[in-house]
Structure 1
Amino acid sequence: MNDLVARFRGVFTALATPFKGDAVDFSTFGALVERQIAAGIAGLVPVGTTGEAATLSDDEADRLIARTKELAAGRAMVMAGAGSNDTRKTIDKVKRAEKAGADALLIVTPYYNKPTQAGLIAHYSATAEATSLPIMLYSVPGRCGVEIAPETCATLMDLHPNIVAIKEAGGSAARITQLRRACGDKLIIHSGDDGLTLPFLSLGAIGVTSVVANVAPREMALLLEAWQAGDAARALALHELIAELTDGMFIESNPGPVKAALALANLAGPEMRLPLVSVSDFNREKLAGILNRFSAASAAFQEIR
């Protein structure tokens, strides 16, 4: 278990999926992944919400996971998104992700259906029984309409040894204490909100599954490294350095802003698949200003430190 905790510690980037026309741009995707690894990211999360999983074909998802694993080459953990709102489809995605080489799985709560807690236990139990890979539960009530209760998390961990972690994206720091009270310190917790990373770490989380790391991987990695080294002042300074950029990543629905930011930085194209569309011209200009200020502040921070 200690080795598993170590593997989940740090920044895991919820990777954006670049497109060129109607196709996945695998060349650009490879460059993005290499940039993440070079920055010191601990984990890579392909085929998640930020990766527009809902509009990827099964073959595209398989290829993205396999390509991430190939590029990571043991330098970063690969945790593939594999959830859906149909348990049978989720199990199929889990088996496909395992075959493609994933090291772990991120399984979101079923959306739209709004299952009860008993339904969540049944759903996650069936999923866990279909794989031997470590599973991170993903509670994001703002998108799914249902939250994983702390007691449900504890029940699932008791029933299934491979359910080991949760990505908490409910927007409440109080949830961390509630989860730890129910599950104990054996539960691995990731922040699912970039802006709450530092307070979550102070309450017992050990990592973040991050959107903003697509744009600022080194700064996010440095924040986690500072906290892990016991340098709270440096971690706070990095949190404040990233804060405006973090807010900017959510001025419209994710991943619109992060894709616009990657395009502004000449790292990837801004294309998204319907029903998602590119950010408005107004917000693109706003993001350009945020990126310019962030770049200048980051450069100054590196000089001072």
Structure 2
Amino acid sequence: MQKFVGTGVALVTPFKADKSVDFEALTQLVEFNINNGVNYLVINGTTGESATITDQEKLEVIAVIVKANNGRLPLVLGVGGNNTTNVVEELHTRDFSNIDAILSVAPYYSKPTQEGFYQHFKAIAEASPLPIILYNVPGRTAKNMSAETTLRLANDFENIVAIKEAGNNTQQYLELIKNKPSDFLIISGDDDLALAITLAGGSGVISVIGQAFPKAFSKMIQLGLAGKNKEAYQIHFQLMDVVDYIFEENNPAGIKAVLQELKITSNEVRLPLVKASEELQTKIAKFVSEF
């Protein structure tokens, strides 16, 4: 699974002023990231506002990204939810042509037990035609999937190949890195911890900010993978403020504000999300102009 080592980016879904999907901007975003060194692309994740785009729009987003990518980078598709039966049905019926793996979020809202997490992902592993990257993000799901449960899944199912760990819990990251199977990937889902976790033995990141500064962020992670901590931290320090900014109010309003300053996409989001405040937009604009 070396194709998922390095920098993956969780792509936004750009919108026009009327809130329709801006496919031209999406194509531009894909090209920008491919040309600036990212290693793989993640489609229809939380950052892509998958909760508020329709099933038809999701299909169109996949088609546009597949066409723009043209086989150049591996593609990871978000397939998850808190209705296990529906997720399994999607895995049985969706066309996964040109997709290299799925990213499946831990069930949200329901707050299952650790055994519930295990049984949910067991059902997904048994149904999936593709490798699976687990996604633990307790800040959004309201329940942490423990390192013990992740490692149990990693040991029991060959097609569960990685986890995007986004609990912002260094101790849990280190427990995963220490005890994981040798070929299982620990991928940071926290932009602020991505370098530290890579240096500790992680396999890189699935990043939000990386899609706005792909050249710098990808170089930082590659330096981290090579153990060149001093050089890598020089870049980390340059990006620290903007990483804080993009999560200050909500994601993806923050990253879309950055991408608007870069003239790649608009800052439009769909309710219940709202655009970055004027105060935040001003801070972001200042950072981008100085970077």
- CA distance in structure 1 between the aligned counterparts of 2:95 and 2:199, rounded to whole angstroms: 33
**Residue 80 of structure 1 corresponds to which residue in structure 2?**
77
For the pair 1:140 / 2:137, whether they are aligned, the reply is yes
Confirm or deny that 1:12 pairs with 2:5.
Answer: no
Residue 235 of structure 2 is matched in structure 1 by: 238
Amino acid at match of 1:155: R
- In structure 2, the partner of 1:94 is 91
**Which of 29-38 and 171-180 deviates more?**
171-180
Query: Greater helix percent: which structure?
Result: 1
CA contact (8 A) 1:108 1:139 kept: yes
Q: Does 1:198 align with 2:201?
A: no
RMSD (CA atoms)? 1.5
Any idea what the Cα deviations from partners look like across 1:79-103, whole Å, max 9, x if unmatched? 1111111112222443465535321
Q: Higher mean Cα deviation, 95-104 or 212-221? A: 95-104
Residue of 260, 264, 268 corresponding to 2:257: 260
Structure 2: gaps of 5 or more residues? none
Q: Is the 8 A contact 1:176 1:204 kept in 2?
A: no
- Cα distance between partner residues in 2 of 1:36 and 1:176: 27
Distance 2:143 2:47 in 1: 19
Using the size of structure 2 for normalisation, the TM-score is: 0.95
Contact 2:199 2:225 in 1 (8 A): no
**Aligned-pair identity (%):** 37
Q: TM-score by structure 1 length?
A: 0.91
Other-structure match for 1:121: 118
The alpha-carbon distance between structure 1 residues 222 and 259, as it changes in their structure 2 partners (threshold 3 A), is same
Query: Deviation at 1:106?
Result: 0.6
Residue type of the alignment partner of 2:176: L
Q: Which residue of 1 aligns with 2:106?
A: 109
- Aligned-partner Cα distance in 2 for 1:95–1:13: 26
- The number of aligned residues is 290
- How far the C-alpha of 1:131 sits from its partner, in A, is 1.4
Per-residue CA deviations over 1:232-274 (Å, capped at 9, x if unaligned) read 2211111111111111111111001111111122111111111
What is the Cα deviation at residue 44 of structure 1? 0.3
**Structure 1 unaligned spans of 5+:** 296-305
Further displaced range: 26-35 or 63-72: 63-72
2:184 maps to: 187
What does the per-residue CA deviation read over 1:161-207, in whole Å, with 9 as the maximum and x for residues that have no partner? 11010011111221122113442333201110111011101211111
